[in-house]
Chains A and B, each alone.
Chain A
Amino acid sequence: MSRDRNASQGAQDAAQAADLLVTVATTLNERLALTAGELGRSQDLLREASEELMTAFRGAADRIVAAQKVAPTSDIERSDEYGKVLNHLYQAVEHLQSHDLVNQLIDAQKLRVNKMREKLVEALSLARPPVVNPGQPEMWIERSRQMLDCIVAGISEIDEEARVPGSDRKRAGSVDLF
């Protein structure tokens, strides 16, 4: 009788532990959904701004490249105005690259967040089917172990190497010829 009571108490404790993991996975998934949404909004704003800049850039770039094609290089180089416009466009090139790199960085972070969420959803799906023998603690423990594995796999996505643009600004623009 006492053994049965102990087993029943053990199963209750194990079931509570499994519920706790469901709460953890659900909360993490909700927080990550917010993060994914914010990353998406930031990317939309950046893309909008970049597209406007790119349109302005293309207008000027196309004209200057066309001018370069119709006139000999030496004639164009003599034109101060051409040189000034080209310098402005070259400065724009540097800044537009930064926009592009930030966009890639956001993409990489979104991918990470999505991979984490996939694992958490997988953990939550493990909690859905009813336990075959709910009175046996082992059944709950096994379920918790599988869920925990998924949650840990999700968290470890943070460390996964993604195609993230480098962040070493000191080396930006550096050149090595071999």
Chain B
Amino acid sequence: MKTILAVDDSATMREMVSFVLESAGFRVIEAEDGAQGLDKATATPVDLVITDQNMPNMDGLTLVRSLRELRDYKTVPILLLTTESSDGMKAQGRAAGATGWLVKPFDPNTLLEVVQKVLR
């Protein structure tokens, strides 16, 4: 069973993402912000990280950069799931090492298609 780390400061968003992923058979670990996400990813290896961008303590892009510095996370897919949709922000995500960018609100089926694709 693949494990996915879902990072979002909104409890509702975490619940929505977790439900969709668990309904498709994934195991989900949740984190409330980038700093907690980094701690959890370091403590437990995960197969995919899905993170929000705007969060207290550590934002999504900083989390991506921090994870990419770790040997275990050089190639693990990382998706940004955020309300930010500007081309400039997406370019920053790409430069930071993100695998993809999804704009909220997300369509559950689309999220699952993307997850299956990047985990292949």
Chain A positions within 8 Å of B, measured between CB atoms, are 50, 54, 58, 61, 64-65, 68, 73, 86, 89-90, 93-94, 96-101, 103-104, 163, 165-166, 168, 171-178
Contacts and interface: CB of A to CB of B under 8 A. Distances in A.
Contact of A173 (B54, B98, B106): B106
Contact of B19 (A93, A100, A173): A93
Given A172-B103, A177-B99, A96 B25 contact: no
26 contacts: A50-B12, A61-B23, A65-B22, A65-B23, A68-B23, A68-B24, A90-B20, A90-B108, A93-B16, A94-B105, A97-B106, A98-B105, A101-B104, A166-B85, A166-B86, A166-B103, A168-B103, A172-B104, A173-B102, A175-B101, A176-B101, A177-B117, A177-B118, A178-B93, A178-B98, A178-B99
B58 interface: no
B25 A73 contact: yes
Given A90-B109, A166-B83, A177-B114, 20 more contacts: A50-B12, A54-B12, A93-B20, A94-B106, A97-B13, A97-B104, A98-B105, A100-B13, A172-B103, A173-B102, A173-B103, A173-B105, A173-B106, A174-B102, A175-B101, A175-B110, A177-B117, A177-B118, A178-B93, A178-B100
A138 B2 CA distance: 72
A166 B84 contact: yes
B40 interface: no
Given A68-B25, A99-B12, A178 B105 contact: no
A149 B20 CA distance: 51
Contact of B105 (A64, A73, A97): A97
Nearest to B117: A177
B89 to A, nearest CB: 9
Contacts of A172: 85, 103-105
